[in-house]
Structure 1
């Protein structure tokens, strides 16, 4: 099966978007220029925060006018990122990005609203996808039945998406995105939850809707940070019957030989920043992984024995996907190549999206302007897709 033939997209969560006007400003200021520099058809992988969704739905013509604006700019849209609910560009986002979680009615309603908008944005004959958070954050206190509560809400989301398809003819699939230190982070945890979800769906006589409309967003950076075998992980999901509805083409930071790589550890300090959470993990003998919830100078200067002795650290810091190295630091670009090859062997074509939302907090004065950087990422990704 060939990889998706839809236009490649990048996720616009890299741009501030707290109002419709701000979203459109980002499209004009950046996305149109990226499309021109890329030189190929480009889809906008839109992030529409809850205030933007409310604004679009506040008038009868809100979504229609927004869709017309996309068309005027020569852009299409077949996927939304509904993971960040609120302001993704505030001074400190960190763990707040995981709220509201999937046990809440607010998360369900927001997702249903995103689906209604996407149904109007989709090109004719094209299916849609919406990526969403992996239930919640492990660092928060959850009730014992938290997973069951989330499963109930996700069944309701699937039923809503099935109803949307009946009413509009638009197929939209939800894509749960595992992430380090979240309730669903490893391949095994995600598969176990999907089995629980299917049991709950069967109990509620909604299993066909859930299997059709709820699957996974596979973020390559996230699973690489977990030191998972990327190709093996994708095969596990395929074998378990979990559909990969969306692939985030992304790379993480890697520090090799931390005990002796003083230049690399010094460089890593430049990636300590206050906006986003940068979960950090270290590979240990026997396949074990040491874990730290956020990159900080204390971890770099005074790592515990396991971290210091590990052959490599990986950091959940999305870095440009065209970079094999960033000075003395490596990236997980080899794992990205493995992911593309594995996805190409599936018997369906997930949506493909470059997601490097960290351009504004990347260190260094010599990084390219945002339009150039995004276009380079897309061009390098298109080349990898053509060579797989």
Structure 2
């Protein structure tokens, strides 16, 4: 078994926004995953903490959770600080990006996450907080960039003070996503050039590389990773996730995955190679109703990573099979199939915990196959 890559799953798969919900989900699900995947070793946790949970965590609860980790053989690897508010059981859609990096509430929330995380992070361990890719594209204008930079510099300065005080290195990991201000890898590199973060703070800023998102953009793992490396942009963690995919007449089958909770951005490719972008599946449906042909279409819908197809449509598992062997040793990997609960009922193959175990085992087998002879 390859142990060079910290491997976990993101607890945003579990509903609940209060701290008591986080604890219940860890007790009921994460410990089952630990017993199956890491019975003898400490199990890394990818925690999602909402703003509500972060507010509820006082010093006593933070210490108590440190004790919980020690007692159960777990440790916190990374925090998901992307969704600020509710993430299950209600209409999320574009609200998942708010407040964004134009809003002081995003800064305060992320600072609070850092102050919590440092108390669960040994001095020798690097960790990360993933966050929104600046903002949703609609309604953003060039005049907003200075405010974004001001807020990000404030956040990075806070992380630098945390390191000076504790020795712990925490990186803010911006997560490119379709139809956001950081969407393609070229846009992400351009953003870092635009922000021109001072060298004294640059070690605290990175990206969270979500495989589903970049696959939807028709980008290739080799090109993405090489572009980031050549620009000196760190990958703080990789979210191991897979999207939907269909060709030709089967593209209409993607529309059955439309549901009212999450955005499912789509990118279609015409025969001439032109890419067309749709903010959600209903937009794709209206395009198809006009009879406009697409050669291939990919949809932002996080599906179990071990599946190459889901009913009549395919997945972008091929992206993961290409990406995982290319990653630098030590890169934290976090499976993120948060939309398990909104999959069509016929496609929910197992319980949540057992599905997570299958996903982690598939990733580990892919790593072993890639690195067994190196």
Q: 223-232 vs 292-301, which deviates more?
A: 292-301
Kindly indicate whether residue 29 of structure 2 is the aligned counterpart of residue 47 of structure 1: no
The separation in 1 between residues aligned to 2:26 and 2:286, in whole angstroms, is 38
Which string of whole-angstrom CA distances, capped at 9 and with x for unpartnered residues, describes residues 320-367 of structure 1? 0111111221110111122112223xxx63321111101111112452
How many residue pairs get matched?
366
TM-score normalized by the length of structure 2:
0.93
Contact 1:84 1:98 in 2 (8 A): yes
Within 2, Cα distance between the matches of 1:354 and 1:172? 20
Aligned to 1:331: 315
RMSD over equivalenced CA pairs, Å: 1.9
Query: Partners in 2 of 1:45 and 1:304 — Cα distance?
Result: 43
Q: In the alignment, what sits opposite 1:180?
A: 178
Aligned to 2:213: 222
Distance in structure 2 (CA, Å) of the matches to 1:76 and 1:14: 18
Q: Is the 8 A contact 1:151 1:196 kept in 2?
A: no
Matches of 1:4 and 1:304 in 2, distance apart?
51
Of residues 252, 260, 275, the one that matches 1:265 is: 252
Whether 1:350 and 2:334 are equivalent positions in the alignment is no
Structure 2 vs 1, CA of residues 4 and 291 (structure 1 numbering), >3 Å: closer, same or farther? Answer: farther
Gaps of 5+ in 2: none
Distance 1:304 1:235, change over 3 A: farther
Q: 1:354 to 1:300 in 2, by over 3 A?
A: farther
Q: Helix, strand or coil: the match of 1:61? A: helix
SS at match of 1:145: helix
Per the TM alignment, residue 36 of structure 1 is displaced from its structure 2 partner at its CA by 1.6
How far 1:292 moved relative to its partner?
A: 1.1
SS in 2 for 1:277: coil
Q: What are structure 1's unaligned runs of at least 5 residues? A: 202-206
Q: How much does 1:6 deviate?
A: 5.2
Aligned mates of 2:3, 2:271 — CA distance in 1: 38
The structure 2 residue matched to 1:361, chosen from 342, 345, 361, is 342
Moved >6 Å (runs of 4+): none
**1 CA distance for matches of 2:121 and 2:247?**
43
TM-score, structure 1 normalization: 0.89
- Partners of 1:111 and 1:333 in 2: CA distance: 32
1:21 partnered with 2:8: no
Counterparts of residues 126-141 of structure 1 (less than 5 Å): 126-139=125-138, 141=139
SS of the equivalent of 2:239 reads strand
Q: Is the 8 A contact 1:269 1:297 kept in 2?
A: no
